[in-house]
Structure formats: structure tokens, C-alpha cells
Structure 1
């Protein structure tokens, strides 16, 4: 009997204690506000149209036409590379072109030899044809034999063929030499074009942000020598985790923050998404605009944090996130704290949307 009284007394005291604690807890009410859901991404700030200038050929860095911070125009020389093998090839091509043109000249030994062959063949033909006419006259007077006449005719015909052959040889020789000149000119031009690759020009109107090479340094092909970008305009290169790629679209709003500018935020939009996942960092690359106030100055390569907004809800019922645990909350029901299930929606850094289960009149306690 005493045991039953003790149990009842204990339960009553526990209930009273819980009621006392409930009375001491300060509840909050769900409130209404705008909620945005965003994806985090890290990024780097670069000048607009930023690119790394390099040479497609190797050689020694011979000359720098600009310095860091200089403004440049499209087509303006940036730097030049010296390659001794290229200079040698150009010299050989120039000499071959000069030789080909010399051979084509009318007073060249090859052209003289071809003309002399024609002259010799013509002289021989004149002699043999005259001799053939003489034998024909002798034959008419029956003063020679048929064999002698036939021999004279054969020599005349052969001489004529040799004369024609000499003319064709002259024509073909001249045509070959013309072709040799044309080919030599093309080779020389191609070598000159290749030499143009040793002077690298700016692809844009912009500014020099960095110079990596030093004069006299051996530069391998495709090695970055300079970094060029548009002056005063920037964009952001973002690295987005592959698990978030289905939420990313071009045109989405981006909110930026940077340790270099505490308590300040910058806005922009996604303008390009690259359809490739990086093998090392397992992320995709995206380019985004950034609106830069006049009093803010970023340097090329500055790190920045981005929140890409993919959904917004206006004037929705919310609770601070730490009041919600496993989609449930503690609420006041008839003076008692009771845990109930709720349905949640969007959430940001501070708040979670309440879709079902609570109203603005409910009192909610910490978990």
C-alpha cells in the first residue's frame, strides 16, 4: 500500500517538475519571411576574357614588348621567341628560292643549254634537209642510188624529230624551273609564317596582369608567358560539386562573399556551364558575371565564395533551424510539451520552411 502511494507521489512530482520546466522555457512562434535555397561553390575572380598567352613553338624569350600593368590593343606584340633552327630553315628556304629564280633566268646555264640544244638540232636539221633535197635532185637525174636517197631522207626526218624534241625539252625545262620557283616561294612564305608564330600578339584590348617568363629564358611550346585580360571588368570561375549539377542552370542568380571585403555581398549570374566533370576535384566549371562596385578592387585569381540561388519562396512560414529535429518539433499542447511531426520545405543558413503541421499561433520549444 505504501509502495503504491510512493509511485503516485513520484509521478505527480515528475509531472509538476515538467510543468515547472515548461513554464520556465520561453517559446517562440513560427514567423513569415522569404526563404532562398542555394548551392555553395568556391570560385576565383578573373578579368573578363582572361587568357594565358603562350607560344606554339619553343625557343628563347628574346624580347618583351610590354610590362605588367600595361594596356594593350588587339594585335599589339606582346613578346617574341628566338629559335635558331627556324632562322636556319628560313635562310635555307631563301637560298633555295634565289637558286630557283636564278635557274629560270634566260641567261642561266640550264636555259642556255636548252637553247643551245635547239640551235644544234636546228642546224643539223637544216643540213640534213638540204642534203635530202640534193639527193632528190640527183635521183631525178638518175645520178644516185635509191639507197642513198633513202638514207638522206631518214637523216632529214630524224634531224627534224630531234629538233622538235629539243624544243619540247626547252619548254618542259622552263616549266619545271617555273614550278621550282613557285614551290620555293611557297616554302619560304611558310617559313616566314612560322616565324610570325615567334612574335605573339594580344588577342584582345585589355591589360597585362602577369609576366611569367624572363628574357633569355628557354621557353617550351605551350608554356604560359603572360596573362592578359580586359581592364576593369571581371568574371568568376566557379567550381561546383558534381552532386549539385542537376540544380544548376544558366541565368541563375549568384550571391558572392569574400574575406577581402567582410560583411559585403556582390551579385551576379551564371552565364556558362562547362559540360565536363574534373577528374581531380570531381566538380564542374561554370563562368558567372559579377557586379563590381566602384570602390571594390579584386586582383586576378582572388578567391571568392558563391551561393547559387536555385529556388525562392516569399512570405512562407519558417522556424529557426535549431528548433527542428528530424522533421519534428516540441510544441505546447494543452499546457504540456509534446513532440509532433511536421513537413518542411526550403531551408537556408538560418531558417527552415514549415509546409504542414504548425501555425503562427503555435508555441514551439527548443528540442
Structure 2
């Protein structure tokens, strides 16, 4: 029993001594603050290729990995519907032309009506003013005078209505003709575009359809991107995005190159937040890229926010409640500055001569 008590006391004493010995003084050192992010490598100018017509894929004219130039044909599509559409559009265009300027044009009919109405107005005007002169001399009846005046006013109103109808109809026919012309030009362009072409000089990274499959305008046929230039895509948490600026240095570690680090510079910050994962997309460019890169390579990044030399720091594990440390004089509040993964900068509260103790777990 006595031995057991002595053993327990010795154990407590050793534990106390070991904890009491776990003390350090702040160091003057260099601290680097950074923001961590996951990394995905993508070709620059990567885009999805779409067909502008529906149909059946006759054949792919390239293979994955091929280098292509701007305007190069990528795929051949079979489709007869655009030709029928072009024929119908031509018929509509010809009809619109005839309605506007042909021998049986609607406007010519209105012009003839206007000419006839002008003659009628002249006749009604002569009869009205003749009757008016007689009436001014108290010759004739009031009913006859009113009848001639009414005929004159009706003729004048009818002419004005015909002129308005002519102007309105002409404007409508001009619009219809222009619309028919545009539809015809668009349908001709569609019938000519059975070959899907590349919009950039680049590399074919994916072909999504096989010969014989149905093609529509909403599903991508292929993926094309730069052959030599790659960008680094990083997802930065919304808490850290305000710290990110263009030109900041980025340290990259790729899973494909686990023993190497690569430097990059922030090149673009997208202002729209991804509501699903609460992150912002940030792009960077390699200072010197690896010799071999593939789309989709993943890794980790640390975006350098600030570097401070010869500053007072302590390990994060010595902090209590985030802003306190235990010293020989008891618990003290400290003011923190920069923070890295392992250490924090001390702005005030303790000095380099202060002994601090590691908190108990």
C-alpha cells in the first residue's frame, strides 16, 4: 500500500515537471500568411463545341489529342430538314417581294383607289362650291346644300383614310419583306453548315458523340482548348476571398508531381459566388509550368497574402481560447497579427523574454 502511494506521488510529480518543462519563449522569425485552396488544371480557352443543326453524326473528322487550327472541320452532320426550310423560306421571300413590288402588288391596288378617290373629291368639291355660291345668293334649298357639303366632306375623309392605309400597308410589307429575306439568308447559312468547325487554334480534348448518333443543338460534340497554355483553377472560401488580389504569388503542389512545388501568379478573380459550395473561382498562371500537363489534374495551393520578416511569433498550439497564453505571471491576453498554418504573429501582450506554457489538453 505504501509503495503504491509513493508510486502515485512520483507519477504526479513527474507529470507536473514534464508539463512545467513544456515552455518556450517567442521567436523572432519570418512569417508567411496564405490562403489554402484546392486546385484543378484546365487548358486555357477551353470550350464546348455545339452543332447549329439537328441531325445524325456521319463521322468525326478528328481524334482526341489532335491539334486543330481555327476553322478546321471537326465533324460531318447529315440533315435534310434545313434544305426544306430553305426552300420554304425562299417561297415566302418571293411572295413578300411580289406583295411589295410585283404587278399584283397590294400597294398598286391602293394607289388605284387613291386616284379614283381624288377624282371623286374633285367632282364633289366642284358640286359643293357651286351649290354654296347659289346658297349664298339665296338660290336653291337648304337640304340640297347640306347634301353637297356632306358628299364633299365624306370624299375628303375617304381620301385621307386611303392615304393612311397606303402608308401603313407599305410599312408592314417592307417589314414582312425584310423578315422573309432574313429568314431565307439564315436558312441558306444553316444548309451550308453541316460541318462543325473549331473556333480556335488548339487541341481536341474530348469527342462526345460516335458516328450514327443523333445530334442536337443542346449537347456538346467535343471539347477544344489551348494545346500549350494551362490555367490553374482555385476555389477560395468566401471568408478569404477579400484577401485575394491579382498578382499574388501562389505555391502549387500537384498530385501528379508530389515531390515538386510550382509557382504561379493570380490572374483573374470571378466576382460571382458559387452558392452550392460557398466559394469563389480564382485563376492563376504558372510562372514555369511542368513539362507535361493534362486537363483535370488536381492538387493544392497556398496563395501568399503577406510575408513579414523578423517578427515575434509563437506556435498556434500554445494559444488559449484563440487570443490568450499562459505565462509565469498567469493568463495574459495577446494581440495577434499574421497567421500561418502553424504559427501566429504577436503584436502585443508578451515579449521575446516571456516564458509561455503549452496548455493542457
One fold, TM greater than 0.5? yes
Aligned partners of 2:20 and 2:357 also within 8 Å: no
What is the match of residue 349 of structure 1?
341
Of 299, 307, 311, the match for 1:312: 307
Within the candidate set 73, 77, 82, 2:73 is matched to 77
Which residue number corresponds to residue 238 of structure 2?
A: 242
Gapped runs of 5+ residues in structure 2? 1-8, 99-103, 105-175
1:205-231 deviations in Å (ceiling 9; x for gaps): 111111111112112213111111111
- CA drift of 1:91 comes to 4.8
Question: 2:339 aligned with 1:365, yes or no?
Answer: no
SS of the residue 1:243 aligns to: coil
1:86–1:195 Cα contact (<8 Å) kept:
yes
Sort the Cα spacing of 1:195 and 1:43 in 2 relative to 1 into closer, same or farther, 3 A.
Answer: farther
Correspondence for 1:6: none
Matches within 5 A, 1:199-278: 199-278=195-274
SS at match of 2:24: coil
Identify the residue that residue 124 of structure 2 maps to in structure 1: none
Distance in 2 (CA, whole Å) between partners of 1:363 and 1:339 is 12
Q: Which runs of 5+ in 1 are unaligned?
A: 1-12, 104-109, 111-179
Residue 184 of structure 1, CA deviation: 8.3
CA drift at 1:282: 2.5
Look up the match of 2:325.
Answer: 329
> Residue deviations 1:19-48, cap 9 Å, x none?
971796153332222222222222311011
Query: Equivalent residues in 2 for 1:1-367 (5 A)?
Result: 21=17, 25-92=21-88, 188-295=184-291, 297-326=292-321, 327-332=323-328, 338-367=330-359
Distance in 2 of aligned mates of 1:221 and 1:189:
19
Instruction: State the Cα deviation string for residues 129-148 of structure 1 (Å, max 9, x = none).
Output: xxxxxxxxxxxxxxxxxxxx
CA gap of 1:304–1:17, structure 2 versus 1, over 3 A, is: closer
Larger deviation, residues 214-223 vs 187-196 = 187-196
3-state SS in 1 of match to 2:338: strand
Shift in Å at residue 65 of structure 1? Answer: 1.6
SS in 1 for 2:295: coil
Distance 2:16 2:239 in 1: 47
TM-score by length of 2: 0.65
Count of aligned pairs: 273
Question: In 2, are the aligned partners of 1:57 and 1:222 still within 8 Å (CA)?
Answer: no
- 1:267-288 deviation digits (Å, cap 9, x = unpaired): 2222222221223223222222
Change (3 A) 1:239 1:57: farther
C-alpha distance in structure 1 between counterparts of 2:55 and 2:313, whole Å: 65
In our comparison, the structure showing a higher alpha carbon Rg is 1
Counterparts in 2 of 1:55 and 1:339: CA distance versus 1, 3 Å = same
